[in-house]
Structure 1
Amino acid sequence: MNGLISVLDTVADRLVVPGYSKWGYRLRGKSWSDLEPDALQGARAVVTGAGSGIGKATALGLARLGADVVLAVRDERKGESARAEIVAAVPGAAVVVRHCDVSSLESVRRFAAEIDRLDVLVHNAGVLPQERTATTDGHELTFATHVLGPLLMTDLLRSRLAASTDPRVVLVSSGGMYTQRLRADDPEYREGTYKGATAYARTKRMQVTLVPLLTERYAAEGIAVHGMHPGWADTPGVAGSLPGFHRLTSAFLRTAEEGADTVVWLAASSPAPRAGRFWHDRRARPTHLLPGTADKPADVAAFWQYCAGAADLR
């Protein structure tokens, strides 16, 4: 990216609306190279939350590049509908549906036991509850879905990923995480008045904190871990969970496919992007922008200790 374009890109990113909207995507996309059409031929990919929105769009993008795709979904009927759409768009694509409630550690364990090989793992499943809800394991729902479930799944699939020649893991975060600091002192949102949007942003911040930690944890096996955010995309999740935001921004929201582009790029680009970083629109971005949100080493250590214990990592 040349100097002037880089500056304009950064300005658009900091102004949020120009960078996160469809305009930012389409302006930046003019300078991108197409991925090789067979970049993932023969590879196996798992996408969580693949029944709709960015998850479904990601699965479609991976299938177009030749990957065999496992749709890990909580609602199998939605999963089968997504599978039918993908196969219709990519005749001959190998796409299967498997049940997995990422908020349930037992469901994650059952799912992981069914996966015999793996090259790409995309953690996309997301929730935004309006009230604080505890899972059957006793964890706050957004924390369980966005942090503990992905953490446990990745660790359980570690050996299968390590057997791949180019294993990659992508955590789909949110630009909303910029508004929050790492709450290692209250990871389960037990204190204060619960707000769903805040819980969502907090746990998306936690995902970004996990990226370099997991990169280090899996470095010896060559497993590359990436974080990204998709900008503002028009998905059923946004329309259902944030109707006011959706109504105000609908004119300039990205499509789900545009939101999923960087996920697919991280999974398939060659050479592989540098691991341990946070991406948006195929460019590494800062992980902190607002004063007071930078991670403190003691908080990161406490956060990891809590998560590793809660997920029962070995």
Structure 2
Amino acid sequence: MSHASPAPDRGIDRVLDRTVVLGYSRLGYAVRRRRWSAGDPRPGALEGRTALVTGGGSGLGEATVLGLARLGARVHVLVRSPERAAHAVARIEQQLRDEGRVAELRVERCDVSDPEAIDAFADGFCAREDGRAELDVLVHNAGVMPPDRTESVDGHELSVATHVLGPIRLTERLLPALRRSERGARVVFVASGGMYTQPLPVGDPEFEHGTYRGAVAYARSKRMQVELAPVLDRRWSPERISTSVMHPGWADTPGLARSLPAFRASTRLLLRTPEAGADTAVWLAATDPVPPSGAFWHDRRMRPTSYRAATHPDPGETEELWRWAAAAAGLDRP
């Protein structure tokens, strides 16, 4: 099965992508979706498999949980507040019942910006089933966009702690379970098209200098996710783990309404549904054969990581950032 659209569609797809407004909107999704039917994951593609979605209590995370569960996965919904996630879980269970399916969902508590919470959760998860717990899909979706510079419990800028350091540490601590995946595990990072506006902040990864803006900090941390994907692929591929990064386009989520109300108001008619935004994350987790690892995806196609020379890392910058991230995430070795 091919992982790209047929050749005649490439020109249309390229135009949609470069215009941004068309490609990231519901229009871009609708145009591309008409050409995907043959490439959808088969029904039941994740039967008997276990998935974990961080930030699965609303928006894109909720839509990702729904998509994975629809394909038969047992899904662990990792959230800071299980109480706040209860309504989302109930909605998912009801929707699947209406479709004649049974959801296997388990809500878990963990703040992915907190190393101690990560370690406690991961150690407990890996110890389940007499130490034989398996994890087949890990989707790093949890996101924050504080308006003012905020630090995590161990002193890192909150966006980078939540989007970069926490996911790296969580994946590393879950390696025993990921290794047990019979068909090879898949790790998916949910990034943002906003990362195209920012270079890799090698000299200031914690946003300690200049005027702090939440949207810029968010985009910078997403740039880090994208540029580190090949590094993480090299690190985890010997464990039979595929690593992908995707961006959802412009989706109408509670997080967008809360963090960027003016943007949402001006683009509301163009915004995708959360389910459309989550489509590529679900596809990366379930399609067969496994998509190329270490790549950046949007609407089921690999995308360039930069369109301007000013945002393309210089030689050695990605490795320099990786050494910082590995140390900040508390890895034993970079």
2:130 equivalent in structure 1 = none
Measure the CA separation in 1 of the matches of 2:43 and 2:95: 15
- Which residue identity is paired with 2:93? V
2:275 equivalent in structure 1 = 257
Cα-to-partner distance string for 1:131-178 (whole Å, 9 max, x where unaligned): 000111000000100000001001111121111122100000000000
Contact 1:179 1:290 in 2 (8 A): no
Q: What is the Cα deviation at residue 215 of structure 1?
A: 0.4
1:103 equivalent in structure 2 = 113
Aligned residues: 314
1:28 equivalent in structure 2 = 32
Structure 1 gap segments, 5+ residues each: none
Measure the CA separation in 1 of the matches of 2:104 and 2:228: 31
Corresponding residue SS for 2:106 = strand
Measure the CA separation in 1 of the matches of 2:121 and 2:330: 16
Measure the CA separation in 2 of the matches of 1:191 and 1:155: 30
Residue 163 (structure 1) aligned to one of 156, 180, 185? 180
Corresponding residue SS for 1:237 = helix
Q: What is the Cα deviation at residue 3 of structure 1?
A: 3.3
1:179 aligns with 2:179: no
Residue 72 (structure 2) aligned to one of 55, 62, 66? 66
1:300 aligns with 2:306: no
Corresponding residue SS for 1:300 = helix
Corresponding residue SS for 2:244 = strand
1:243 equivalent in structure 2 = 261
- Which residue identity is paired with 1:52? S
- Which residue identity is paired with 1:79? A
Q: What is the Cα deviation at residue 286 of structure 1?
A: 0.3
1:134 aligns with 2:151: yes
Q: What is the Cα deviation at residue 2 of structure 1?
A: 3.2
Residue 54 (structure 1) aligned to one of 52, 57, 60? 60
Corresponding residue SS for 1:111 = helix
Using structure 2 for the length normalisation, give the TM-score.
0.92
Give the 5 Å matches for 1:284-295.
284-295=302-313
Corresponding residue SS for 1:274 = coil
> What percent of counterpart residues are identical?
52
Q: What is the Cα deviation at residue 114 of structure 1?
A: 2.5
Q: What is the Cα deviation at residue 219 of structure 1?
A: 1.6
- Which residue identity is paired with 1:241? S
Q: What is the Cα deviation at residue 78 of structure 1?
A: 2.1
Measure the CA separation in 2 of the matches of 1:79 and 1:224: 28
Following TM superposition, the consecutive aligned residue runs of length 4 or more in structure 1 with deviations greater than 4 angstroms are none
2:10 equivalent in structure 1 = 6
1:150 equivalent in structure 2 = 167
Corresponding residue SS for 1:144 = helix
RMSD: 1.0
Q: What is the Cα deviation at residue 93 of structure 1?
A: 1.2
Q: What is the Cα deviation at residue 244 of structure 1?
A: 0.4
Cα-to-partner distance string for 1:67-124 (whole Å, 9 max, x where unaligned): 0000000121122222111111223211010011111111111121232320000000
Using structure 1 for the length normalisation, give the TM-score.
0.98
Q: What is the Cα deviation at residue 300 of structure 1?
A: 1.1
- Which residue identity is paired with 1:55? G
